[in-house]
Structure 1
Amino acid sequence: MEQIIIRKAAISDLNILLEFEQGIIKAERPFDVTLKDGEIHYYDIAQMIIADHVEVLVAEKAGELIASGYARIEDSKIYLKHPKHAYLGFMYVKPEYRGKGVNKMILDGLALWSKQRGIMELHLEVYDENTPAVRAYEKVGFSKLLVQMRMGLTD
């Protein structure tokens, strides 16, 4: 069986990463009525790849990109114990590789990158109704902290 390699994303990966982004958006649309119709973008992936305060990782198997994720170092709120944290996002695993530990491999790589920079706190956002994603993150050690709520005045 071919080994899965976790590596830093390169600009040459951009076309596949843009496909991953659309996969994330497609998966999240049912949970968010506020998303615009049509093609949208959450990220400036090319900029993230070259930024010093962001690490974009990909999982590769037999030369095929199968997953992605990023960590971005951010300032924390001044009232928190930790002055900075790493915000995680762009977590995507191709459907045929889900449930095989690939997401954990990406998360472990991002956690290591964060620790090497003195960051000891990781944050991410996940839709509360996205039960499989919530379970996956809880399985690797994340816990719920806050629920963000909304109310549309024209809905």
Structure 2
Amino acid sequence: MNQDTKDISIRRAVNADLPKLADFLQFLVKAERPFDVTLKEGKIFYYDIQELILDPKTEVLVIDFNNQIIGCGYAQIRQAKPYQKHEFFGYLGFMFVDPDFRGRGLNTLLINDLKKWVLSQGITEARLDVYHDNEAAVNAYKKAGFKPILTTMRCDISQMDDN
């Protein structure tokens, strides 16, 4: 690590981290709202963070800077589709780095640790979801070795004419 990141470590999340992780989840929702008009108003909880911490098929990591959590992410072992070459894959999610600490390569360090955990489970495929128009995130994931393979598209047909 360079001088900028010498006081930074990545560790497993614990229950004491839950309040900060809940805040991060709402920051993520706020950041993703401009990319997804289908998100409900108010607080949204994509998942139960404590359940993820307790799940043996999930590794939740936090980025720690001087005993302050500044980022997080998880890897979860998931079943692949029956038609895919691999039986299982590691799904990465809840990727967040505090805006004050971005641009220091912390996301890459976090992703690398999550990939190592997935590999330790005997799995060689890693996947994640990212909003197509979120160019900063797309570029960060490309830098970490991810490539797009599928784009989900939507259409609001509520105002469709009968003609």
Identity of aligned residues (%): 45
Aligned mates of 1:108, 1:3 — CA distance in 2: 18
Deviations 1:25-46 (A, max 9, x none): 0100000000001111111000
Match of 2:103, SS? coil
Corresponding residue for 2:71? 67
Alignment of 1:1-155 (within 5 A): 2-154=6-158
Amino acid paired to 1:46: Q
Structure 1 residues not aligned, in runs of 5+: none
Match of 2:18, SS? helix
Using the TM superposition, give the Cα deviation of residue 154 of structure 1 relative to its aligned residue in structure 2, in angstroms.
2.1
Aligned mates of 1:32, 1:98 — CA distance in 2: 23
Aligned mates of 2:46, 2:129 — CA distance in 1: 13
Larger Rg: 2
CA RMSD, aligned part only?
Answer: 0.9
User: Which 4+ runs in 1 deviate beyond 3 A?
Assistant: none
Deviations 1:9-61 (A, max 9, x none): 00110000000000110100000000001111111000000100000000001
Match of 1:133, SS? helix
Aligned mates of 2:21, 2:158 — CA distance in 1: 35
Structure 2 residues not aligned, in runs of 5+: none
TM-score of the pair, normalised by structure 2: 0.93
Aligned mates of 1:101, 1:68 — CA distance in 2: 13
Aligned residues: 155
